[in-house]
Amino acid sequence: MGVGLLYSTTTGNTETVAGYLSAEIGVDAVDIADAEDLASFDGLIIGAPTWHTGADSERSGTAWDDYLYGDLTSADLKGKKVAIFGLGDQARPTPLAHASTHAQPPHSRRRPPPVQAGYGDNFCDAMDELKSCFEKQGAEVIGAWSADGYDHTESKSEAGGTFVGLACDEDNQPDQSEERVKAWVAQLKSEGMPL
Ligand SMILES: Cc1cc2nc3c(=O)[nH]c(=O)nc-3n(C[C@H](O)[C@H](O)[C@H](O)COP(=O)(O)O)c2cc1C
């Protein structure tokens, strides 16, 4: 069956990167909600965004959440090579700009300034959840990717300066995704993904 390219998305960014991968490897990208038996593929490339900030499980906030704890648990993926890509937003939380323009009460009564959303403490956390769920089914996860060139603070998907897969950030580094995909695909070939 060749390699399966599977993803999920809420606002389209993971689909964009799946599109870069599809063009590079000549395989159609399929939404995990429409996917058939994963065990029939010779290898898998799977991608997810992170939406449930700080969550231990169901971090993606997409159809992956049901799939990981449903259909996947009965799939035999022993020895199958699986590579993971993730979409996230590495921006650090920043105090809202207007907070400092208001008159401040005496220091002892000041509240911390309101903080604008930023996900740099949980950058691409869903990749790590995909890894552990697929490994439970016997898969061999390949495609670890250096965290050089990113500006996040923390990620459950990173250890010792290396992500478990390809991290992409269409919010802050959209012009880097295509080049990252090309380099990652070359790496996957060298690590034995049957492409
Ligand atoms: C409410 C909300 C929560 C988010 N939580 C995280 C997060 O915890 N970690 C992260 O890296 N990105 C987080 N993001 C950013 C998205 O993951 C990012 O925009 C991603 O590209 C979305 O992919 P999609 O368009 O495929 O759904 C969050 C975005 C929103 C709006």
pLDDT of residue 32: 98
Please determine, for the modelled complex, whether the ipTM score is greater than 0.90: yes
User: Nearest CA to 158 among 186, 106, 114, 121?
Assistant: 121
Q: Model confidence over 6-25: pLDDT tens digits?
A: 999 999 999 999 999 999 99
- Choose the residue to mutate in 85, 87, 163 for probing ligand 1, maximizing ligand atoms within 8 Å of C-beta: 87
163: β partners = 145, 158
pLDDT of residue 107: 65
Are 49 and 130 in contact by the 8 Å Cβ rule? The answer is no
CA of 123 to the centre of ligand 1 (A): 9
Computed over every residue of the chain, the mean pLDDT equals 93
Q: What angle do CA 76, 81, 84 make, to 5 degrees?
A: 105
Cβ of 16 closer than 6 Å to ligand 1, yes or no, is no
pLDDT of residue 100: 53
Burial 65-87 (b: 16+ CB within 10 A, else e): bebbeeebeebebeebbbbbbbb
Q: Model confidence over 146-161: pLDDT tens digits?
A: 999 999 999 999 999 9
- Looking only at the bridges linking them, the beta strands covering 166-168 and 81-87 are parallel
Structural domains of the chain sorted by starting position, each given as residue range(s) with its CATH number in brackets: 3-190 (3.40.50.360)
| Number of neighbouring beta carbons within 10 Å of residue 124 | 31
Cβ of 169 closer than 6 Å to ligand 1, yes or no, is no
Q: Model confidence over 65-117: pLDDT tens digits?
A: 999 999 999 999 999 999 999 999 999 777 776 655 556 666 667 777 777 77
pLDDT of residue 97: 67
pLDDT of residue 1: 83
Are 89 and 153 in contact by the 8 Å Cβ rule? The answer is no
pLDDT of residue 28: 97
Collapsing DSSP to helix, strand or coil, 88 comes out as coil
Question: What is the residue with the minimal CA distance to atom 27 of ligand 1?
Answer: 10
Q: Model confidence over 39-52: pLDDT tens digits?
A: 999 999 999 999 99
